[in-house]
Structure 1
């Protein structure tokens, strides 16, 4: 039987793949896994989802920074789409992470599942995500998309521990960017969400500070296990992305979201 930390290591490897290919710094893989492990432990109480979201956010700090450096070196980042969107994402992240500490564990889990379901439906039913015309010139972000959209992305991403990639990727995709570039830019936009969120979660839940291996809601041992798998995998996976056809890349993105949704629902049964 696999130990919990070996399970986390293996899923950390998967997180490294999703970080590079889809811009998921950790959230959509690590939240269901950490939630499932915490929910069956004797000392988990009613905090399993909060610990899962906080731990995912902490892992995202390292994964997103490492992946951002990798994508920058490969020339996939476009400053005109990253700034000033990143500033408004940061502001929203502060509000979202604080709100998450005030939401009940069950409500937070329901919100996470609902967010996944809406995103999957939107990607499948609304035009502009599954395919982008190759001759189409990418359009700049509008002012509302940069300001209100940025705040909304940061708030939802930090509240649910998902880094914002599932909002930024469709947003950039519908502006005409290839899937490889849209997912690449999800990583730097996840960094401010992860840093702000981790700070808030680490300072929250004072009753957990006395427990070994935890800082607020953040499970440091789980973080170490996840990162030991994800960082080497990020370095290896970066060579694969340019070879994936654009439509196959977008379909795989939706398939992963659906898998995560099913896994989250299964852990609650």
Structure 2
């Protein structure tokens, strides 16, 4: 337990820095690294991925609160849009936890590998969302929010890599899109975390110090450092060639994807 806690402290440091530096969610790093840590510690194979996803999602609660407050102070959050997306986001997040509880660890791992490769390609090629020419209907917003909430909960992420391109496509300025995505990350994290905690409370073979599918020592270790290093990463983004570094970071994502394939 102590070894995983200390490793999670280091993981939180790196995840926070990369999240701030590249503007991505920490789950992109947290989930695959936790999966490797949990497997190395002998956690049951079927629990490795779902516990990694659930624990990552739990850490997003605190980091999301910090991010939302920062964007709110800058008056960047379009709360009306958040209220439109919110119901779909929460329903999707709850459904995502249920789906994760009913699929095998191998399927969950495959879904995350596809996500890692997709984001890696996006960062390597510097692909950016292109603005569209029309506003979405409320029905489309609700449906899209449900899908994004479901995928975010399944992947253990805050949803920024899904929500931002959707909003930008429908003419939302990037500054506001990022702020809205941060605000939507909170209900994703809260609903998903509660879902994973309740769904896993009676699961067999859970290791000690688990709250449902959430592994508490890793949760504490990650939030202990990531909340402090994320702002540092954001400041470094203005001093370092972040766009160039994204290409190197994409290589790391491909390596982690390959590692999960032969996990």
TM-based fold match above 0.5: yes
Q: Gaps spanning 5+ residues in structure 2: where?
A: none
TM-score, reference length from structure 2 = 0.83
Q: Secondary structure of 1:84's match?
A: helix
Q: How does 1:223-234 map to 2 (within 5 A)?
A: 223-234=219-230
Q: Which has the higher helix share?
A: 2
Encode CA deviations 1:88-131: one digit per residue, 9 max, x unaligned. 111111111111100100110001112333455578889852x7
Say if 2:117 and 2:253, in contact at 8 Å, map to a contact too.
no
Say if 1:93 and 1:155, in contact at 8 Å, map to a contact too.
yes
Aligned residues: 260
Encode CA deviations 1:245-264: one digit per residue, 9 max, x unaligned. 9xx76776676566334313
Q: How does 1:28-39 map to 2 (within 5 A)?
A: 28-39=28-39
1:192 aligns with 2:187: yes
1:147 aligns with 2:142: yes
TM-score, reference length from structure 1 = 0.81
- Report the alpha carbon displacement of residue 80 of structure 1 after superposing the two structures with TM: 4.2
- Report the alpha carbon displacement of residue 158 of structure 1 after superposing the two structures with TM: 0.7
Q: 1:95 to 1:254 in 2, by over 3 A?
A: farther
1:264 aligns with 2:260: no
Encode CA deviations 1:218-254: one digit per residue, 9 max, x unaligned. 000000100111111234345456x489xx7677667
Q: Secondary structure of 2:92's match?
A: helix
1:167 aligns with 2:153: no
Q: 1:251 to 1:185 in 2, by over 3 A?
A: farther
Write the distance in 1 (CA, Å) between the matches of 2:222 and 2:195: 21
CA RMSD of aligned residues (A): 3.3
Q: 1:240 to 1:61 in 2, by over 3 A?
A: same
Q: Secondary structure of 2:46's match?
A: coil
The partner residue of 1:204 within 174, 187, 199 is 199
Q: How does 1:1-269 map to 2 (within 5 A)?
A: 3-20=3-20, 24-118=24-118, 129=129, 140-177=135-172, 179-205=174-200, 206-207=202-203, 211-239=207-235, 243=238, 256=249, 259-269=252-262
Say if 2:77 and 2:180, in contact at 8 Å, map to a contact too.
yes
* Stretch deviating more after TM superposition (182-191 or 54-63): 182-191
Encode CA deviations 1:40-73: one digit per residue, 9 max, x unaligned. 1224342110110010011111111111112212
- Report the alpha carbon displacement of residue 173 of structure 1 after superposing the two structures with TM: 2.9
Write the distance in 1 (CA, Å) between the matches of 2:225 and 2:101: 28
Say if 2:79 and 2:180, in contact at 8 Å, map to a contact too.
no
Q: 1:27 to 1:78 in 2, by over 3 A?
A: same
